[in-house]
Amino acid sequence: MQMVQFKIDGMSCEGCAKSVTAALQGSPGVETVAVNFATSIADVGFDDSLTNVDTLKAAVEAAGFDVV
Protein backbone atom coordinates (compact mmCIF):
# COMPACT_ATOMS: atom_id res chain seq x y z
CA MET A 1 0.00 0.00 0.00
CA GLN A 2 1.21 3.48 -0.91
CA MET A 3 0.50 6.55 1.23
CA VAL A 4 0.04 10.13 0.08
CA GLN A 5 -0.84 13.32 1.92
CA PHE A 6 -2.74 16.14 0.22
CA LYS A 7 -3.14 19.74 1.36
CA ILE A 8 -6.68 20.67 0.33
CA ASP A 9 -7.94 24.19 -0.18
CA GLY A 10 -11.60 25.06 0.27
CA MET A 11 -12.60 22.88 3.20
CA SER A 12 -14.38 24.93 5.85
CA CYS A 13 -16.42 22.41 7.83
CA GLU A 14 -16.88 18.76 8.72
CA GLY A 15 -19.32 18.42 5.82
CA CYS A 16 -16.54 19.44 3.44
CA ALA A 17 -14.26 16.82 4.96
CA LYS A 18 -16.99 14.21 4.47
CA SER A 19 -17.34 15.21 0.82
CA VAL A 20 -13.60 14.85 0.26
CA THR A 21 -13.60 11.52 2.10
CA ALA A 22 -16.46 10.20 -0.04
CA ALA A 23 -14.76 11.34 -3.25
CA LEU A 24 -11.53 9.59 -2.32
CA GLN A 25 -13.21 6.43 -1.03
CA GLY A 26 -15.08 6.18 -4.33
CA SER A 27 -11.82 5.82 -6.24
CA PRO A 28 -10.79 2.26 -7.08
CA GLY A 29 -7.82 1.06 -5.07
CA VAL A 30 -8.27 3.44 -2.13
CA GLU A 31 -7.86 1.51 1.11
CA THR A 32 -7.75 4.21 3.82
CA VAL A 33 -8.78 7.86 4.01
CA ALA A 34 -8.37 10.30 6.92
CA VAL A 35 -9.42 13.91 6.28
CA ASN A 36 -9.04 16.73 8.81
CA PHE A 37 -10.76 19.97 7.83
CA ALA A 38 -9.04 21.94 10.62
CA THR A 39 -5.60 21.25 9.11
CA SER A 40 -6.87 20.86 5.51
CA ILE A 41 -4.95 17.59 5.24
CA ALA A 42 -6.06 14.32 3.65
CA ASP A 43 -4.04 11.16 4.23
CA VAL A 44 -4.77 8.44 1.69
CA GLY A 45 -3.61 4.84 1.53
CA PHE A 46 -4.02 3.22 -1.87
CA ASP A 47 -3.03 0.29 -4.05
CA ASP A 48 -0.79 1.77 -6.73
CA SER A 49 -1.62 -1.05 -9.12
CA LEU A 50 -5.23 0.22 -9.20
CA THR A 51 -4.88 4.01 -8.99
CA ASN A 52 -2.33 6.82 -8.85
CA VAL A 53 -1.82 10.22 -7.24
CA ASP A 54 -3.11 12.13 -10.28
CA THR A 55 -6.38 10.17 -10.26
CA LEU A 56 -6.82 10.83 -6.55
CA LYS A 57 -6.19 14.55 -7.04
CA ALA A 58 -8.76 14.58 -9.84
CA ALA A 59 -11.35 12.97 -7.54
CA VAL A 60 -10.83 15.71 -4.95
CA GLU A 61 -11.06 18.42 -7.60
CA ALA A 62 -14.22 16.86 -9.06
CA ALA A 63 -15.77 17.21 -5.59
CA GLY A 64 -15.14 20.96 -5.78
CA PHE A 65 -11.92 21.34 -3.80
CA ASP A 66 -8.36 22.23 -4.78
CA VAL A 67 -5.26 20.18 -4.04
CA VAL A 68 -2.41 22.57 -3.31
Q: In order along the chain (68 residues), what is the average pLDDT of each group of 10 residues?
A: 96 94 97 96 97 97 96
Alpha-carbon distance of 62 to 60, in angstroms, equals 5
Residues of the domain holding 7: 2-62
Q: What's the CATH code of the domain at 45?
A: 3.30.70.100
In a domain, residue 30? The reply is yes
Domain count for the chain: 1
Global confidence as pTM: 0.93
Q: Is residue 46 situated within a structural domain?
A: yes
User: What pLDDT is recorded for position 18?
Assistant: 96
State the Cα–Cα distance between residues 32 and 9, nearest whole angstrom. 20
Does residue 15 belong to any structural domain of this protein?
yes
Query: Looking at the domain assignment, is residue 67 inside a domain?
Result: no
